[in-house]
Amino acid sequence: MKFFADTAEIEDIRKLADTGLLDGVTTNPSLIKKSGRDFIEVVKEIVKVVPGPVSAEVVALDHDGMMKEAEVLRKIADNITIKVPLTPDGLKTCKALSSDGTMVNVTLCFSANQALLAAKAGATFISPFVGRLDDISQSGIDLIADIRMIYDNYDFGTEILVASVRNPVHILESAKIGADVMTAPPSVIWQLFKHPLTDNGIAAFLKDWEATGQQI
Ligand code: E4P
């Protein structure tokens, strides 16, 4: 499973990239607002830190407007992935960009039928939002399982990018289903390393090692 960081905070991205485990980054207009940074400037910095796909989202709602914005964004670097909303214009834009060799991430997916449309439009990634579905008492993880089944039925190459991840259980369940990618806030990714028995085990080993009086 590929790990993407869902953030526009460059220092957080650098720290995760240092682990060697970061495969990409996703941003959206809300994350750009939260960063307080200029959109183009921060994306230019991110693509230098992470060689994998970096999603940058268009804000136009019509196909022509999306194409114009995508033109600006895709010039930034080869690893830019254009993020478009799951609307008829978004999917028309997805089809045009993906036919032209540009990576496209179709975002704001909340149903398996929407995911089917995105795959037919040639999306590189489909982003189902698990957390926001859970928020309205629908199972986000059930949606991931449905999309996996449908994509496998037809051998679609579109990668399932689990988004709106809120906790490590979302990642565990998505990995069990076979989702291709997950994007999560850095705080959630760091939680994956933690287990109290690991911390206790290190403390006990160090104590015993000190008692031996040896050095490596
Ligand atoms: C990523 O591509 C999405 O925009 C993001 O995961 C949405 O997460 P949220 O529901 O926590 O805002």
Domains and CATH numbers, the chain: 2-212 (3.20.20.70)
Q: What is the pLDDT of residues 129-172, one digit of tens each?
A: 999 999 999 999 999 999 999 999 999 999 999 999 999 999 99
Whether residue 57 has its Cβ less than 6 Å from ligand 1 = no
> What's the helix, strand, coil split of the chain in %, to 5?
55, 20, 30
Torsion of CA 73, 76, 80, 81, to 10 degrees: 10
- The catalytic residue positions are 83
Ligand 1: which of 31, 84, 109, 129 to mutate, judged by most atoms within 8 Å of the beta carbon?
A: 129
Q: Alpha-carbon distance 83 to 66, whole Å?
A: 10
Task: Indicate which atom in ligand 1 lies nearest the CA of residue 107.
Answer: 2
Gyration radius (Cα) of the chain, Å: 19
102 Cβ closer than 6 Å to some ligand 1 atom: no
For residue 130, report the distance from its CA to the centre of ligand 1, in Å.
Answer: 9
Instruction: Dump pLDDT digits (tens) for 32-62.
Output: 999 999 999 999 999 999 999 999 999 999 9
- Could you tell me which residues come within 8 angstroms of residue 81 by beta carbon, excluding any fewer than 6 positions away? 24, 53, 54, 55, 56, 102, 103, 104, 105, 124, 125
CA distance readout (Å), 189 to 114, 143, 147, 164, 182: 27, 22, 23, 13, 10
Predicted pLDDT of residue 37: 97
Q: Is 28 in the pocket of ligand 1 (CB under 6 A)?
A: yes
In the prediction, which pLDDT does 85 show? 98
Q: What is the SS3 assignment for 171? A: helix
Distance, CA 164 to ligand 1 centroid (Å)?
4
pLDDT in tens, 97-136: 999 999 999 999 999 999 999 999 999 999 999 999 999 9
Q: What is the pLDDT of residue 21?
A: 97
208 alpha carbon to ligand 1 midpoint, in Å?
45
What is the predicted pLDDT for the residue at 99?
A: 97
Q: 163 in ligand 1 pocket by Cβ < 6 Å?
A: yes
Q: Taking the CB of residue 154, how many other CB atoms lie within 10 A of it?
A: 9
Regarding the beta carbon of 134 and ligand 1, being less than 6 Å apart is answered: no
If residue 4 lies in a helix (H) or strand (E), which one and from where to where? strand 2-6
Neighbours of 7 (CB within 10 A): 23
Report d(CA 91, CA 80) in Å as an integer. Answer: 18
Mean pLDDT, rounded, for 168-194: 98
Please name the residue that has the structure tokens 């804000």. Answer: 59
C-alpha dist (Å) from residue 70 to 77, 119, 187, 215: 12, 19, 30, 57
